[in-house]
Amino acid sequence: MCGYNGTVLAYGQTASGKTYTMEGCDYCPDLWGIIPNAFEHIFNHIRQSQSSDSFLVRVSYLEIYNEEIHDLLSPDTNGRKLELKERPETGVYVKNLTSLSVNSFADINHLLMVGKRNRAVGATIMNQDSSRSHSIFTVTVETSSLAPQGNGKMHVRVGKLNLVDLAGSERLAKSGATGERFKEMTKINWSLSALANVISALVDGKATHIPYRDSKLTRLLQDSLGGNTCTVMIANIGPADYNYEESVSTLRYAHRAKSIRNKPQVNEDPKDAIISEFQSEIQRLKAQIQASQPEIDVMRRLESLEQEKLMVTEQLQQYKEKVLEATTNQRMSEQAIACLKADLEGKAQIQLECLKAEKERSEEEKEKIITQLLKQLREMEHQNQELSRGKEDRALLESKLKVLEEKLIRGTNSGGKNVTEQVKQRSQDLASFGHAFEEQKLFNEECQQKMIEMEEAQIMAEEKCNTMEEELDLKTRKLRKLMARYQQSKLEIASLKSEIQDTIHEFQQERADLLWSIKSLEQQHQLKNLVIERFIPPEEVAKIMQKMRWDDDSEVWIFRSSHSYSRNSTDNVPIQRPASAVGRSRPTCQKALQFLAQGTTNPRYLDENVLKLELESPERVTFDYCDPIDRIRAESQIHQCLKDLDNGNAYFSYDSRPSPLPQYRSSPSRPKSAHVSQHARI
Ligand SMILES: Nc1ncnc2c1ncn2[C@@H]1O[C@H](COP(=O)(O)OP(=O)(O)OP(=O)(O)O)[C@@H](O)[C@H]1O
């Protein structure tokens, strides 16, 4: 409303509530989204503004579907594609986009509903009414108010609010989209990634090129992203865990977008402001009406003439009545003459003559008046025609003025009356307040006197206030510094406290470990003492103790080497171990060498203790069956035996003698151990 441009942008994955955030539920004011709330705010502001301020509110609504721009408020429902154009003074705009002026919340809300009906939506896996396009609802508010310099000139500001509902980003694999949905999805993702690239380039201070031209969306939002617009980006995320990746990506983009710094500025007296055109047109029409004032005077005169005509007609009627009366009187006179012939002949004659003269006079007068009236009538008809022409012209002008005034919305005091009515109202007001003017003047003088006194008092109070403010500033700065120091020390104390806690905790753990190791060492010590006391004779203990020495560096007991403790012996010569015979793997005594030289086979003197034994060939304990009958019987017994073996244990007794034949026992009784040499177990 102050002339800044603004953009509200809802960004996020599909079905995360972007449309809901922007539009909300229209049936319940508590659940209105950003768009209806913005409308309400605009019209509340207009209502509460000064009566000298005029506003012109225009709206447009477009969607970007498959990288094509469609007008959502166009009566042409064939979805004509619109073109993007650019002008150096106004920037990027959409050619032939419908822009409608609105006067109330109801009007603008109606247009939002109309546009919504024309928008592309479709069902996806995640959202039944998914927006398949990016939509931009633009509200332009032009404000004309008296210039602050007070020179009576009008000052125009233009603010533009873009309310953007983006289509939802969705991973192709997750969406399961095919056909038309797949195509839509690719375009949506492409334009959203173009938006992300623009954001990244704007955040990256080194980027020399911002890729606004990569998509229609980024070109239309060029001013909102890194331009002169106050932009709010709403990041919508879904609470479900399967949306984790998308939510993280949305938050990442929102975090990046946070770093973009725009430079908003008031759009003052722009060249393309329509309100100025409207106002000059209104002025022109007013001047035209003013110029037609003589015609209005003529019309007033005509009205008075009409009244005169009425009066004259009345007079004529009176004359006619008089004439009629006179005629009646005449008749009566004739009758009276006839009746009173004798008495009143002279008188009647005179009266009759008088009446005749009077009648002639009235006839003449009557004719004279009638011609005069006819002349006046013709004149009036002529003037009537002129009047009706003037009336038509005036009606035309007034209707023109009304249309323009209807488009302009005024502050609370305007009341929406037309100019003529306002002039009438004002003149009445002037008349009624005229007599109060003098009283008001006196009252004003008193007030002025009081105001001068008050201003002096205010100046004194301001001076006092200024010194107090300075003092307050000084103290506030000091307090802030102290506060900052206090916060710093608080943080330091907190970190020290946590450090102390950690150290205490570590110390306690270490102490517990040490106690545990002391305890276990004590146990080991007691055990070893017990073993020494119970199992090692004290003299041996003494001997061992002599051989041991405590090493301070490695903190262990170590055996003294034979060399080191034999030094204390009488000869002080270290005992040398005899060197082994050269070329032999082990030491060999002289006697063994002697026997070996004699070629002894005694293993005692050999290098290796290996016994050399003769091979023992085993004796044959079987014999062949030469008799074919015996062989057959033997074979049948073996078959039988094998069969039984399949079913269970079977023992086969076999006599080493050639005859009789081997005895097969089918009963599984174990053979006695004495017979084992003679009975083989199969
Ligand atoms: N805060 C909320 N309270 C109640 N319902 C909600 C809320 N947010 C979203 N919804 C519901 O969730 C559904 C999906 O929301 P919406 O259509 O706004 O998502 P979207 O992000 O615009 O999706 P798409 O990108 O697919 O258009 C709708 O039925 C909507 O009514």
Q: Is 308 in the pocket of ligand 1 (CB under 6 A)?
A: no
Judge whether residue 678 has pLDDT over 50: no
pLDDT at 427: 52
Ligand 1 atom closest to the Cα of residue 127 is 26
Q: CA 496 to CA 481: how far, in whole Å?
A: 22
Residue the block writes with tokens 């768009």: 35
- Nearest to 11, CA basis, from 122, 167, 120, 132: 167
Ligand 1: centre distance to CA 212 (Å): 29
pLDDT at 250: 87
Q: Is 168 in the pocket of ligand 1 (CB under 6 A)?
A: yes
15 has binding-site annotation: yes
Residues 6+ apart with CB under 8 A from 238: 12, 13, 15, 16, 246, 247
pLDDT at 271: 66
Residues 6+ apart with CB under 8 A from 408: 54, 55, 56, 275, 278, 279, 282
Judge whether residue 275 has pLDDT over 80: no
Judge whether residue 62 has pLDDT over 50: yes
Ligand 1: centre distance to CA 18 (Å): 6
Q: CA 10 to CA 224: how far, in whole Å?
A: 13
14 has binding-site annotation: yes
**Cβ atoms 409, 55 nearer than 8 A:** yes
The structural architecture, per CATH, of the domain 279-410 is Orthogonal Bundle (1.10)
Ligand 1: centre distance to CA 205 (Å): 35
Q: Is 159 in the pocket of ligand 1 (CB under 6 A)?
A: no
Residues 6+ apart with CB under 8 A from 369: 312, 315, 316, 319
16 has binding-site annotation: yes
Q: CA 679 to CA 682: how far, in whole Å?
A: 9
Long-range contacts of 217-220 (CB under 8 A, 24+ apart): 217/64, 217/134, 217/166, 217/191, 217/192, 218/191, 218/194, 219/84, 219/92, 220/64, 220/84, 220/92, 220/94, 220/136
**Cβ atoms 93, 85 nearer than 8 A:** yes
Q: Which of 26-40, 198-212, 299-313, 323-337 has the lowest mean pLDDT?
A: 323-337
Kindly report, residue by residue over 107-119, the tens digit of the pLDDT.
888 888 888 888 7
> What is the domain partition of the chain in residue ranges?
5-272, 279-410, 628-675
Interface predicted TM-score (ipTM) of this complex, two decimals: 0.96
Ligand 1 atom closest to the Cα of residue 168 is 25
The structural architecture, per CATH, of the domain 5-272 is 3-Layer(aba) Sandwich (3.40)
Q: Is 233 in the pocket of ligand 1 (CB under 6 A)?
A: no
pLDDT confidence bin for 243, thresholds 50/70/90: confident
Q: CA 168 to CA 15: how far, in whole Å?
A: 7
Ligand 1: centre distance to CA 169 (Å): 13
Kindly report, residue by residue over 189-241, the tens digit of the pLDDT.
888 888 888 888 887 777 778 888 888 899 888 877 877 888 888 999 988 88
Nearest CA to ligand 1 atom 12: 17
Ligand 1 atom closest to the Cα of residue 23 is 18
pLDDT confidence bin for 294, thresholds 50/70/90: low
Judge whether residue 670 has pLDDT over 50: no
Q: Is 267 in the pocket of ligand 1 (CB under 6 A)?
A: no
Same fold, 5-272 and 279-410: no
pLDDT at 484: 92
